[in-house]
Amino acid sequence: MTRFLRRGAAALLTLCLALPLFGCSGSDTPTESKTPRSDTAVATLCAVGDIRITDELLQAARQGGSYDFSDILRGTTAVVGAADVAIGNLETTLSGEPYNDGSAPDALATALRSTGFSLVQTANSYTIQNGLSGLERTKAILRSAGLTPVGTYESAEDRAQNRAVLVEANGIRIAVVAFTKGMNGMRLPSGAEYCTNLLYTDYDSNYSRIDTDGITAAIDAARAAGESLGGTFRVVATGLLPGVGGYATAGERLTGRIGGALFSIPAIKGVEFGLGFQAARRPGSQVHDPIELDPKAGFTRTRNNAGGLEGGMTTGMPLIVTAAMKPIPTLMTPLATVNLDTLEPEEASRERSDVCAVPACAVVAEAEVAIVLADAYLEKFGHDNMTDIKAAVKSYRQRLRTLSR
């Protein structure tokens, strides 16, 4: 899959019009109109994208032992504050310290309300980043600041009765509904599946749905400009048994073997598993995956930040590996180069008309990952004949079930 697929896409449904937004929130009661109603009712809706926190923003907002984000948001007040309804997507939580991209200071909520926001979407990639307690605290802080969280719920009854948040502006009633496509590979908490609106509850489909229209448009634009495009794609392997691979040597670790296989593909410049580089910017409690004992599934993880591999071995969770491919180097609008015969500067030759090889590369990468996994299975369960392999797998599954009892 490519970078064109956003992790936490959401939808705002208003006046029978679907708008691709990242957040929705408001108070539980209709908001007051900011402009007088005329014979023709008009309402202004302002919707913004991700509201995220970085280390740089934290430093800029720090004032001694506290934080103030008002100066950072000041430039948006003229637009956000002028709207009858302003909606933003809180692509973080308010879970308390330590502060990082997964948990912002409570002062952010106050600053958002002062800027003019009334609705905040909490259905996104970070919904349960810090567990149900983190979600509950986030919603409590938002409400105390005068903001209404949208897309997350206290109970199954709450979700059934309040799936949409109703707001009113100049006599126009607006229903706001928020959904998320995924939660950074995490599953809905057992017993609290009501907590948010998740588009795909099979957990793996959000890694296999591609915005083909967006990709096609980007490729067409690059072709018209004489450019080439790179991108990222994701390979997901599901149904893996835990404990496949090894941890003792480089030749056993699946991280190294899969990474090496993908780097053998020309033009691949980066490979990451699960959170990948994001894990370096978070504390351990927000990176490592808690283990629980499910009555049916046995030992499992409540989230999948590791991408299905720990210590070079499978965990039983979906294996998620993302690779980055550079753009094709030959361009229809050539770059400068040097003629090796004359040592004179000239333009590079036009040798091909391809624009983007990322979709084709993803197919190759799937095969590379499959080959590595097949080799690891044969090493663990034998390779003489299928009857023996199936018997070994069956025996191993039974042993895992016994361990989980």
Query: Domains of the chain (ranges plus CATH)?
Result: 12-205 (no CATH), 223-403 (3.60.150.10)
The β-bridge partners of 386 are none
pLDDT at 353: 67
Average pLDDT of span 42-61? 90
Q: Over 60: is that where the pLDDT of 295 sits?
A: yes
pLDDT at 200: 63
Q: How far apart are the first and last CA of the chain?
A: 38
Beta strand 17-19 with 12-14 is antiparallel
Task: Sheet with 268-273: list strands edge to edge.
Answer: 231-237, 319-325, 268-273
Q: How confident is the model at residue 300 (pLDDT cuts 50, 70, 90)?
A: confident
Q: Over 90: is that where the pLDDT of 381 sits?
A: yes
How far, in Å, CA of 253 to CA of 369, rounded?
13
pLDDT at 405: 62
Q: How confident is the model at residue 4 (pLDDT cuts 50, 70, 90)?
A: very low
Are 133 and 4 contacting, i.e. CB atoms less than 8 angstroms apart? no
Q: What is the mean pLDDT of the chain?
A: 83
pLDDT at 39: 64
Give Rg (Cα) of the chain: 25
Q: Over 60: is that where the pLDDT of 338 sits?
A: yes
Average pLDDT of span 156-185? 85
Are 124 and 180 contacting, i.e. CB atoms less than 8 angstroms apart? yes
pLDDT at 307: 92
Nearest to 244 by CA among 392, 137, 110: 392
Q: What is the pLDDT of residues 72-131, one digit of tens each?
A: 999 999 999 999 999 999 999 999 998 988 899 999 999 999 999 999 999 998 898 888
Q: How confident is the model at residue 376 (pLDDT cuts 50, 70, 90)?
A: very high
Q: What is the pLDDT of residues 216-275, one digit of tens each?
A: 888 888 888 888 889 999 999 988 999 999 999 988 999 999 999 999 999 999 999 998
The values of phi and psi at residue 225, to 5°, are -90, 0
Residue type, 393: V
Spell out the residues 6+ positions from residue 251 whose beta carbon is closer than 8 angstroms to its own. 257
pLDDT at 201: 58
Are 33 and 83 contacting, i.e. CB atoms less than 8 angstroms apart? no
Nearest to 142 by CA among 100, 102, 107: 107
Q: Over 50: is that where the pLDDT of 21 sits?
A: no
pLDDT at 100: 86
Q: Over 60: is that where the pLDDT of 37 sits?
A: no
pLDDT at 302: 81
Q: Over 90: is that where the pLDDT of 179 sits?
A: no
Percentage of the chain beyond pLDDT 90 is 46
pLDDT at 5: 24
Q: What is the pLDDT of residues 136-149, one digit of tens each?
A: 999 999 999 999 99
How far, in Å, CA of 338 to CA of 166, rounded?
64
Residue type, 178: A
The values of phi and psi at residue 243, to 5°, are 90, 10
pLDDT at 361: 94
Report CA torsion sign: 68, 69, 70, 71: positive
pLDDT at 38: 52
Average pLDDT of span 273-283? 88
Highest mean pLDDT among 56-60, 261-265, 346-350 belongs to 261-265
Q: How confident is the model at residue 152 (pLDDT cuts 50, 70, 90)?
A: very high
**SS3 sequence of the chain:** CCCCCCCCCCCEEECCEEECCCCCECCCCCCCCCCCCCCCCCCCEEEEEEECCCHHHHHHHEECCEECCHHHHHHHHHHHCCCCEEEEEECCCCCCCCCECCECCCHHHHHHHHHCCCEEECCCCCCCCCHHHHHHHHHHHHHHCCCEEECECCCHHHHHHCCCEEEEECCEEEEECCCECCCCCCCCCCCCHHHECECCCCCCHHHCCCCHHHHHHHHHHHHHCCCCECEEEEEEECCCCCCCECCCCCCCCHHHHHHHHHHCCCCEEEEEECCHHHHHHCCHHHCCCCEEEECCCEEEECCCCCCCEECCEECCCCEEEEEEECCCCCCCCCCEEECCCCCCEEECCCCCCCCECHHHHHHHHHHHHHHHHHHHHHHHHCCCCHHHHHHHHHHHHHHHHHHCC
Q: Over 80: is that where the pLDDT of 12 sits?
A: no
Claim: this prediction has a pTM higher than 0.75 = no
pLDDT at 225: 83
Q: How many residues does the chain have?
A: 405
Q: How confident is the model at residue 325 (pLDDT cuts 50, 70, 90)?
A: very high
Nearest to 47 by CA among 4, 17, 5: 17
Average pLDDT of span 387-392? 92
